Amino acid sequence: MQKEILLDLVTKKMPFGKYKGRLICDIPEHYLVWMHRKGFPEGKLGMWLNTMYEIRVNGLEYILIELKKKIQLGEL
């Protein structure tokens, strides 16, 4: 996975819908599952949501937790 994509997941916010304004990494799994069934939007947002879906269903959240901590501490 590209580092830039992971950084986007912990810094970019959802631009619309029920979770507008939330970081992509903080969107609940049930919403990602719903979006997966419905179809992710085109472009970067769709790629971010799909990546977040894959991270969640494969139990890889720990990757983002550590990255988010480093950003909050100003280490990145």
Is residue 74 over pLDDT 90?
no
pLDDT in tens, 4-35: 999 999 999 999 999 999 999 999 999 999 99
Residue 8: other Cβ atoms inside 10 A = 19
**How far apart, in whole angstroms, are the C-alpha atoms of residue 17 and residue 67?**
26
CB-count exposure of residue 26 (10 Å: 0-12, 13-18, 19+): middle
pLDDT in tens, 28-71: 999 999 999 999 999 999 999 999 999 999 999 998 988 888 88
Q: Are 17 and 27 in contact (CB under 8 A)?
A: no
pTM for the predicted model, two decimal places: 0.88
